[in-house]
Copies of this chain bind each other. A is one copy, B any other.
Amino acid sequence: MTKTLNVGMVGYGFMARAHSNAWANVSHFFETGYRPVLKAAAGRNVSKVRRFAQMFGYESVETDWRALIARADIDAIDICVPNDLHAEIAIAAAEAGKMVLCEKPLARTEAEGLPMVEAVEKAGVPNMVWYNYRRIPAVTLAKQLVADGKLGRIYHYRAQFLQDWTISPDVPQGGAGTWRLDVEAAGSGVTGDLLAHCLDTALWINGGISSLTAMTETFVKERKDALTGAVKPVGIDDAAAVLARFQNGSLGTFESTRYARGHKAAYTLEINGEKGSLAWNLHDLNRLAWFDHGVEGTLRGWSSVLVTDGDHPYLGKWWVPGLIIGYEHSFIHQVADFLEGLSTGEPAAPTFRDALATARVCDAILASGRSGQWVEIAS
């Protein structure tokens, strides 16, 4: 018998829309034993939260997240607000016995995230962090190929997340649209926003990172505050590049920037193993590039696998071969796995604890960017 799951959304921005779309659609395609109900949305601006709720069909609104958490008819709190608010809301939700789903990164630092982990674990509530790219079918397939040993020993893991939207010095910091440039709200720049995605995927597919060294840079040193107009120093990292050693002996290189003209959301990854290699690009997310060294010599080449067949991860639930899905589907898949996890009792990853490991690596990157030294990562 299908159960309902009453969702309380905190926020009404870009991520709240992506998550709401997932909650609204998952039951149209996946049979998980649970049917989410978009119960209530919370946001400080009442007209904005009302319009948001109306569009997505939330039954009611709140203007204080505490009120949302206090409601008995809410089963799960979904946190879609700037990073500096994650901890307080998540801990309160956990203490109220709610399931907690938190947009990534878990928190601004590992230190800030640790009490969140402790809270959900103490409360024993289902919890998850929205590192959604794991559920792009091509990425899930990549994970399976590595796990199945198709690549053999791994030598290299390479990832980049390139954007270009902050090149103009006229882009402000802070406020609703540009809080990601405000170090107070965001905790860091590209490291927590973009590299964190790359790291989550890497740790999942290739295991732990044992040590790293990093270079960080802030190209635009001062920006106006979006709310006050005052020119203030920029505290975030505009770009970060990392050399890393994985526990399995492979080498990692990671890079992220918002100053790579021509790239919008170019998250790319490549893995080189003894028996094969694979590569992927968020811009063409339905394709997985695959090189199989086992193919006879004259016909070996990089294959572009269009990951849209019924036997590809998640695709059996969608359309027919050749018809692609988009960015937003990764969230639907994540919700589907979360709900499935409620049914089976096997928590869907990444949990808060999983995400803490990513936060630890982010901290190390920022520390190394300051010190110029290699940093060891506790496993």
Contacts and interface: CB of A to CB of B under 8 A. Distances in A.
Contacts of A277: 260-263
B239 A156 contact: yes
A167 B372 contact: no
A311 to B, nearest CB: 6
Contacts of A325: 326-328
A345 interface: no
Contact of A327 (B17, B151, B301, B323): B323
Contact of A215 (B57, B245, B273): B245
Contacts of A21: 25, 28
Contact of A298 (B297, B309, B320): B309
How many copies of this protein are present in the complex? 4
A243 B215 contact: yes
A272 B259 contact: yes
A55 B29 CA distance: 7
Interface residues of A, number: 95
Contact of A55 (B27, B251, B302, B306): B27
Given A165-B321, A274-B261, A302-B262, A284 B284 contact: yes
Contacts of A264: 306, 308-309, 320-323
A176 to B, nearest CB: 14
Interface string A297-334: 11111111110110110000011111111111100000
Contacts of A311: 297-298
Contacts of A18: 319
Given A156-B257, A213-B372, A264-B306, A324 B326 contact: yes
Contacts of A156: 239, 257, 259-260
A372 B14 CA distance: 41
Interface in A359-379: 372-374
A20 interface: yes
Contacts of A285: 324
Contact of A319 (B14, B164, B312): B14
Given A262-B272, A301-B304, A319-B328, 18 more contacts: A14-B319, A17-B28, A24-B28, A29-B55, A156-B260, A163-B322, A215-B243, A261-B274, A262-B302, A263-B322, A264-B306, A265-B321, A282-B323, A298-B311, A301-B303, A303-B303, A323-B328, A324-B326
